[in-house]
A and B are shown apart, each in its own frame.
Chain A
Amino acid sequence: MVTTIEDLPADVLSRALRRLDGRSLAAASCATSGLRALAADPDTWRALCLAEWPALARLDRRRLLDALPPRRLFADASPFPSPDATAAPGLDLELPDRLVSAVDVYARGGGAPLLSRVVETPASSSWFLGSPFRVEAVERRKPPETEPAAPITCPADLELSWVVVDPARGRAVNVSSRRAVAVDRHWYTGETLVRFATVLGGCKFEAVVSCAELGGVAELGLAVEDADGAAVAGEGALRLLAAAMEAPRRGGEGEHEEARRRYQEFVRRKKGRKESKARREALVDLCCSAASAAVVLTLIAAVALR
């Protein structure tokens, strides 16, 4: 006679657990020791990861996920990274020599992704380390690709997940704000630019989805900007990513709003810094002119008084 849930056969219960979202599965595995043993099954977490980020299925097929315990992958990539994860410059963090990005674009409200991409980025060449960091998930083509799985009708309702994996160390981090932090229009091409950003260690990781007017994705890329708005080079970006992978995560409900708030603050600060820099320059200008005027006046006075 079955009287509690733990008397059910394991395969029956795992079937139920596979229908849970990550947060509920985590809660279930904390609730009782029986459920904990069941929820420790890597296959359950693997299924959850693949359902959450369909782009990972391509990695799975190429056996790239083997080095990543699925439970940790989920714990790494599902919550938001901590914004103050800075790598102290002195601290010698081992930098990844290869990054894999798993990118999924959804329409809000769930369902299959509109677009899934996996991009591998070799990250050890000096060329990569020295030039501005940029990863392209969809490259702009001269004759635009006509492949929208489903035309994007409402760009503001797009959701994006951008999981960056370091296969060597088996760690990952999700650098997207999931929901758009800003939507604007490109002044020249007329494309709608949907921005997803997280601020890590004072720098802004921003993924931009360029939606063509016909509803396709014209371009999708990730770039990093520092507090002054200058592009961050590969080495700096790797350092930030490595630090974010190690740092604790934030999993609260309000994180979507938080991410947007941090983005806006970043943009405001950047503007503020620009303005104060401009003010400082104007002041220096004024001082220089005043000094030269004084010199000229003294000269004239000296000549006149002789």
Chain B
Amino acid sequence: MAAPESGDGNNGAARMVTLISSDNTRFEVEAAAASLSQTLQLTILDGGGGGGDGIPLPNVDSATLSKVLEYCIKHAPAAANGGAPNATAVDRAELERFDNEFVNIDQSVLYSLIMAAHNLEIEGLQSLVAKKVADMIKGKSPMEIRRTLGFPDPTPEEQAEMNAHMLEYGWAYE
């Protein structure tokens, strides 16, 4: 996304905004980073979030928000020049390494992160977590998927149902 040279861009030194998590922790970040969120971008363009009054985010707790902001701050410079010519291969490799590290987290944290990315509409982060979830499922048998995703072992009835469905997808298992 190309950032037009308007509003915050012209103010020279980065404009800061304040975000307030559901447990009332205040986070101060550059407007450019927070604007990766489609939801926040509109408020910020309207001049919200500056000065004393922050933007309340009742759906996001502080632990998740700090994680989200870590992502936004890392990705803001790349998003600002739209992945344009000056994004070198080294930068991209670095971002990729960061992304891989970033989603290497507990499932409960991952799910909160997914919800936050969804609520805040952060496109890049949404793809990243979707990819992570897909990677957790990819190449596994139904049973392995259950275990990976933390489901209890199936009851006999569930097992019977699973077998019936596996029969339906017989082509996938030989």
Contacts and interface: CB of A to CB of B under 8 A. Distances in A.
Contact of A19 (B130, B150, B158, B173): B130
Contacts of B47: none
Contacts of A15: 126, 130
Nearest to A252: B174
Contact of B140 (A22, A24, A248): A24
A22 B145 contact: no
B171 A24 contact: no
Bin chain A's interface residue count.
35 or more
B162 A31 contact: yes
B134 A20 contact: yes
A91 interface: no
A79 B133 contact: no
A12 interface: yes
A12 B114 contact: yes
A228 interface: no
A35 B133 CA distance: 12
A31 B140 CA distance: 10
A26 interface: yes
A12 B142 contact: no
B171 A75 contact: yes
Contacts of A249: 170-171
A208 B48 CA distance: 64
B97 interface: no
B169 A75 contact: yes
Most chain B CB atoms below 10 A, which of A15, A22, A26, A27: A27
State the majority secondary structure of interface residues on B.
Answer: helix
Interface bin, chain B: 35 or more
A19 B130 CA distance: 8
Contact of B139 (A1, A24, A29, A248): A24
Contact of B149 (A1, A5, A33, A78): A5
B115 interface: yes
B146 A32 contact: yes
A75 B166 CA distance: 13
B130 A16 contact: yes
Contacts of B158: 33
A13 interface: yes
A108 B146 CA distance: 33
B108 interface: yes
Given A20-B137, A29-B165, A250-B171, A2 B151 contact: no
Q: Which 4 A-B pairs have the closest CB atoms?
A: A19-B134, A16-B133, A251-B171, A30-B142
15 contacts: A2-B108, A4-B149, A8-B111, A12-B126, A15-B126, A16-B131, A22-B172, A27-B140, A29-B169, A30-B142, A31-B143, A32-B145, A32-B151, A33-B161, A249-B171
